Amino acid sequence: MKLFSLGLFLVTSLGAFAAPSDLRLTLNWKPEPEFGGFYEAERIGAFQAEKLAVKIQPGGAGTPVPQMLAAGQTEFGVLGADEVVTARARGLDLVSLFAVYQSSPHGILVREERGFKTLADVFGHEGQLAIQRGSAMALWLEKKYAPVKVKLVPFTGGIAPLLKDVNYAQQGFVTSESLLAKRQGAAVRTFLVSDSGFDPYLAVVAVRGDYLRKNPELVKAMLRALNKGWVSYLKDPAPANLIMGKLNPTIDAATFAESAKVQIPFIETAATKKSGLGSMTVERWRTLVEQLRAVKIIDKDVSPESCFATLK
Amino acid sequence: MREGRTTIVHTLALMVPFLVGTGFLELASRAGWVESYLLPAPSAVVGTLWTDRVEFLAAFQDTGYSALLGLGVAVAIGTLLALVFSLSEWLERALYPYALFFQTVPVVAVAPLLVIWFGFGRPTVVASSAIVAFFPVLAGGLAGLRSAEPSLMDLFRLYGASRGRVLVGLRIPSAVPQYLTGLRIAAGLAIVGALVGEFVGGGGLGSVVDVAKTQQRVDKVFGAVLLATLLGFLATLVMGRVETWARRRLS
């Protein structure tokens, strides 16, 4: 038992040797305007002002942020609200702190040539739809627009097949893939998934429950820094875009700028003007829990109150 | 009688690490040393395999079928090329370096391209499987065809045998052991290739893993992984049997 704990300790501490005092903020995607406020907080020294050493770790497809948080491989992680609920149902004690996207920019991209008017058209016609299988979004849309005529196929990222095949549709962010498709000359129409009633908070910063209980002051300081970063980024995204552009050269400067502009209504809403950027309500979490139960991703109740914390 | 006893001893020897391993995992999980979201208890995995048995069985068959087709394609192309290369040194020099490409190609990286070329579904999965399974067939076949004893080669030459006669009468029979070893390796790889193909092309155990991962169902991921290993185990077992049989017939 002792030997086993020692082994486990050695394994888990390997990552920590790099920089023992750094707090890690792990993203679930590459640097994009979606995370602009985080990089801006770093740039303007908002973390230092709170005496925090924060290391932003970009992610990619399949970065297991919920498990990394639960296992202590990262102190802070960015993920979707639906993942937080699912994690809690599976016994992972994750708590959301700050929701960058108040409304989901998830969309279904289709070629303009097909003349579709609504989301229902996408599902009611033959063709292919690339979507993350098993995701809450996919299950929700399948249920809502049943009987589904379109063939659901795996989503592997990018927009190459959409440019090639007229009868192909795919998931994507209006703030990202839609812009890239237009830039590459495709006439693309995007239907927001939130119009179907499924609208989880996205780009949510979360921590482990016991980490929050043990370090409330540190977490509050982190939130102040993140807020400062986002306020500054919304005012002028150009400097942080430059930094992110170097880290993620697959997106050109013009798309960075456009994306930062397009995402503003998803970040600044009537609710955030009242209660601050990133703020969340229990009603929204309750709706999400109900929806996840309806599509059977979770089979037990999760208390909406337990999913997030409002620290003042 | 003796052979029967050896088989029993071998089977027991095989079971011990398995039982100790799963027993320890079960204990670690029950005692709370490892969280179930990192490593599920073996009993939880077995429970999931049983609850979702219909889905698992269909996926198992799907992946098995794709891997079999992929292996078939790999064997057909690999064997043909091995024969051609063994007959013409010139062709081998020109083409073998390109065949090497298939040994090193990171199939994970090219898999999304396969979808663009072959479309979603089985063709992509079979292609992915064939790509990784192809090289061991070619390498095993070629090395085997080269392994004919020089003294026997001289003998054939002495009698003025044609190239074709040497191939059929000497080279192919002496190629069998190494060719079959290549085939055994290819059979295991075909399954890995099929799984990678299923991640992007859809279907089979690859899809089960993808969905389970998305829904944070670690137990289900492990269930699918277990079935994939079982598939590989079966493939190796069958190929091993074929090898033993062929060796016995040859000697």
* Chain segment B162-211, per-residue pLDDT in tens: 888 888 888 888 899 899 999 999 999 999 999 999 999 999 999 999 99
Give the pair of three-digit tokens for residue A232: 């500054």
Q: Mean pLDDT of all residues in chain A?
A: 91
Could you list the beta-strand ranges (E) of A15-114. 23-26, 54-57, 76-79, 94-101, 106-111
Task: Decide if B214 and A132 are in contact by the 8 Å CB cutoff.
Answer: yes
Closest to A260 measured CA to CA, from A183, A143, A162, A176: A176
* Chain segment A284-297, per-residue pLDDT in tens: 999 999 999 999 99
Q: Is residue B76 predicted with pLDDT exceeding 90?
A: yes
A209 CB within 8 Å of a chain B CB: no
**Residues B73/B63, Cβ–Cβ less than 8 Å:** no
pLDDT band (50, 70, 90) for residue A257: very high
Report the distance separating Cα B24 and Cα A233, nearest Å. Answer: 51
Report the distance separating Cα A157 and Cα A159, nearest Å. Answer: 7
Residues 123-182 of A with CB under 8 A from B: 128, 132-135, 151, 153-154, 156-158, 160-161, 164
Q: What is the pLDDT of residue A280?
A: 97
pLDDT band (50, 70, 90) for residue A1: very low
Q: In sequence order, which residues have a C-beta less than 8 Å from that of residue B73 and are 6 or more positions away?
A: B126, B127, B129, B130, B134
DSSP A306: G
Q: What is the pLDDT of residue B2?
A: 57
Report the distance separating Cα A247 and Cα A249, nearest Å. Answer: 6
Q: Determine which helix (DSSP H) or strand (DSSP E) holds A192, and give its type and residue range.
A: strand A188-192
pLDDT band (50, 70, 90) for residue B3: low
Task: Decide if A71 and B28 are in contact by the 8 Å CB cutoff.
Answer: no
* Chain segment B107-121, per-residue pLDDT in tens: 888 888 898 889 899
Give the pair of three-digit tokens for residue A181: 């498709």
pTM value is 0.85
The angle at the Cα of A297, spanning A295 to A300, to the nearest 5 degrees, equals 100
Q: Quick one: chain A helix, strand, coil %, rounded to 5?
A: 50, 15, 35
How many other β-carbons are positioned within 10 Å of the β-carbon of residue A166?
14
pLDDT band (50, 70, 90) for residue A11: very low
**Chain B residues with at least one Cβ partner in A under 8 Å:** 28, 33-38, 111-112, 115-116, 120, 199-202, 207, 210-218
Give the pair of three-digit tokens for residue A225: 């820094």
Closest to B140 measured CA to CA, from B85, B77, B183: B183
Domains and CATH numbers, chain A: 2-103+200-307 (3.40.190.10), 106-196 (3.40.190.10)
A302 CB within 8 Å of a chain B CB: no
| Backbone dihedral angles phi then psi of residue A214, each to the nearest 5 degrees | -80, -30
Give the pair of three-digit tokens for residue B172: 């192919």
Residues facing residue A130 across a β-bridge: A153, A170
CA dihedral A263, A266, A272, A273 (to 10 degrees): 60
Task: Decide if B116 and A161 are in contact by the 8 Å CB cutoff.
Answer: yes
Q: What is the pLDDT of residue A21?
A: 64
Mean of the pLDDT values across residues B42-71? 96
Mean of the pLDDT values across residues B148-165? 84
Task: Decide if A1 and B33 are in contact by the 8 Å CB cutoff.
Answer: yes
Which CA distances in Å does A155 have to A161, A163, A183, B56, B210? 10, 15, 21, 22, 11
**3-state SS class at A97:** strand
Where is mean pLDDT largest: A228-237, B135-144, B211-220? A228-237
Q: Determine which helix (DSSP H) or strand (DSSP E) holds A204, and give its type and residue range.
A: strand A202-208
Domain locations in chain B as residue ranges: 1-34, 40-250
Q: Could you say which of B112, B201, B211 has the minimum Cβ distance to residue A134?
A: B211
Q: How many residues does chain B have?
A: 251
Which CA distances in Å does B2 have to A128, A213, B97, B224? 60, 66, 49, 38
pLDDT band (50, 70, 90) for residue A158: confident
Q: Is residue A7 predicted with pLDDT exceeding 80?
A: no
Assigned CATH topology for domain B40-250: MetI-like fold (1.10.3720)
Task: Decide if B216 and A92 are in contact by the 8 Å CB cutoff.
Answer: yes
A4 CB within 8 Å of a chain B CB: yes
